[in-house]
Amino acid sequence: MNIEQKINQLRDELRQHNYNYYVLDSPTITDYEFDILLKELQELEANHPEFHDANSPTLRVGGEITKNFQTIVHEHRMYSLDNSYSKEDLLDWETRIKKLVDGDIQYICELKYDGASISLTYENGSLLRAVTRGDGFQGDDVTANVKTIKSVPLKLKGDYPPKFDIRGEIVLPWEGFNKMNEERVEIGEEPYRNPRNTASGSLKLQDSAEVAKRPLLCLLYNLAGNKLPVETQLSSLEKAREWGFRVPTEAKLSNSIEEVLDYINYWDVHRHDLPYETDGVVIKVNNLHYQEELGYTAKAPRWAMAYKFKAEQVSTKLNSISYQVGRTGAITPVANLEPVELAGTTVKRASLHNADQIEKLDIRVGDQVYVEKGGEIIPKIIAVDLNKRPANSEPTKYITQCPECETGLVRKEGEAQHYCPNYNGCQPQIIGRIQHFISRKAMDIEGLGGETVALLVNEGLIHNYSDLYELTKEQVIPLERMAEKSADNLIKGINLSKQIPFERVLYALGIRYVGETVAKKLVKHYKSIDVLALATEDDLVNVDEIGEKIAESVLEFFSSEQNRIIIERLRNFGVQLEISAEKLANQTEKLKGSTFVVSGVFETISRNELKKLIEDNGGKVASSISSKTSYIVAGENMGPSKRAKATTLNIPIISEQEFLKMIS
């Protein structure tokens, strides 16, 4: 056996022992024997660098330093999940999905793990990269740190696809968390607050050797990719397990919502017996073909629902109420509380939402209030202990003037929130709008964060987001915590943002009610900001999914002379204010006025590509058949009830080839 063969044999042997220990929980050798093999491999690799392997078991000890985590766009978007808290929520969800798919529906119930979401990409059986969830569209490359987690396979086994993503959660089990805290207390340092935050923070440590010291665990549960060799969620879990991933065994197939509720009730009690934190149950439609049929909303898959276990509640004193001003001028009352421990964190503040909520609960300063974490994330006050109310208690009077600029507040009919109308003169609104402009989903300006924006405004260097494009390196270097390199990065990031496409620029402008989805609809319809600026209310409400409230907000934005000046400045600086010629060339009006329902499995193009072609050619994609449906594009396995409904309504059913001829 030559040196290269010996190195590869040791690597394979160590990978198998790693798998036995960290995935199967069934070691076949002692720690000492493992260390002897590892040391032998380390010596051979050191003496023969020509046989270097980026996924060698010896690299799990870490040592790589990452100062700046590169931003990576997810090839397959990481969606969030809709939440439910009752049987009624689940039954409503079931009713919705049964309207959209044919046949009996089975569900997979899985525990919802409380850690840091991760996406692992494998190519030819080797770990290519590990990326945090980020905003779902893009995240941070934390490959060096994730490689140190022993339950993450660096090389796969069996019949894995050539390339795919697998999603999961990196958690810190209770035993390891408690041990870490004991060690911190011994050396006189503050203990960590909770396992979830500690796991999340571990992924962004600069030294991977420090990450290697932490007993992190990677639990995986979802495959993403093209033409994967699985047809159900259950089989995808089984396959992932065969390939070498640590896939929890608690998942269960259920045939009804009643069986789902039995699973929820069982784990609501027994979750405390698990070695790591869970905060609910995720219910998924088992059939992956049905998942494709159901598709996604703008934020979440229609085929999955998270059931959150009842939130922990605590009682504490309300010391005062303060008021915050958002970027749209919306006023949010905030409860300042006597600090109290809740779900692993110290809670000092909670949102009171609006004046109606304060009045409904009759919340007063000095009250003893009950606080819980909504979805175990954002603290909220749910009730007042009236038995402990002080005798001299006074009802809360909602403020009538902006706490920042003292402008009189307004409240439109039918709206819950009060607003400060001082759009151009209220500092928090100005800062908030610029912070929104630079955010990831908007202009995504690297090197510029929210705190720096506030500094730039407070120093008088910028007054609106168009001023960013006039900033110089010399102006920003004197700012707090700003070195020469960070100043270079900031100016570079601002210049690169000029390449951001129009739909994201429109979203970045911060027009009230114009979120990501609405911005895309408006851009698709109007093609340029000049045409949009001239639209009337009647024009706007005739655009797909644009209502009166959005139309009024758009008109109000463009009626402002200052906004028009800002847009003109953005144009002069080179910001994209119309659809690019390349994108425009791929769009037609051939399908204008036609609504399509896509159903079945397709041969030549994917379902998502098909939907994009419909929209690029002026058509609309609907999720269910109705009298307004113009065509059904049908692939293999189209459900019989959909076919029957189409026949009853005399809706033409066309193949993917016939559809492609329509747009050719």
Q: Which residues are known to be catalytic?
A: 112
Separation of alpha carbons 55 and 120, rounded Å: 14
- Cβ-proximal residues to 418 (8 Å cutoff; 6+ apart), any chain: 330, 331, 354, 355, 398, 399, 409, 410, 411
Rounded to whole angstroms, the Cα distance separating 288 from 227 reads: 11
Give the end-to-end CA distance of the chain in Å, rounded to a whole number: 60
Place of tokens 């500092």: 427
- Buried (b) or exposed (e) across 104-129, using 16+ Cβ within 10 A? ebbbbbbbbbbbbbbbbbbeebebeb
Q: How far apart are CA 596 and CA 260, in angstroms?
A: 33
Contact (CB, 8 A) for 340 and 333: no
CA-to-CA distance for 612 and 660, rounded, in angstroms? 12
Distance of alpha carbon 177 from alpha carbon 199, whole angstroms? 9
Angle between helices 548-559 and 561-573 (to 10 degrees): 80
Residues in the chain: 664
Cα–Cα distance, 151 to 421 (Å, whole number): 54
Q: How far is CA 178 from CA 213, 280, 482, 592, in A?
A: 14, 22, 38, 61
* Residues 229, 268: Cα–Cα separation, whole Å: 34
Tokens of 654: 């066309």
For 232, phi then psi, to 5°, come to: -135, 160
Residue 382: exposed, middle, or buried by beta-carbon count in 10 A (0-12, 13-18, 19+)? Answer: middle
Query: Which amino acid would we find at residue 380?
Result: K
Question: Residue 39, SS3?
Answer: helix
245 close to 165: Cβ distance less than 8 angstroms: no
d(CA 372, CA 521): 37
d(CA 120, CA 219) in angstroms, rounded, equals 11
Q: What is the DSSP letter of 429?
A: H
Three-class secondary structure assignment of 256-281? CHHHHHHHHHHHHHHHHHCCCCEEEE
* Residue listed under structure tokens 């059931």: 307
The amino acid sitting at 493 is G
Asked if 55 and 155 touch (Cβ cutoff 8 Å), the reply is yes
Name the region of 27 (left: φ>0; alpha: ψ -120 to 50; beta: rest): beta
Is there a contact between 300 and 81 (Cβ–Cβ < 8 Å)?
A: yes
Please answer whether residues 378 and 401 qualify as being in contact, where contact means their C-beta atoms are separated by less than 8 angstroms. no
- Contact predicate 463/563, CB 8 Å: no
Which are the contacts of 69, defined by CB distance < 8 A and separation ≥ 6? Answer: 140, 141, 142, 204
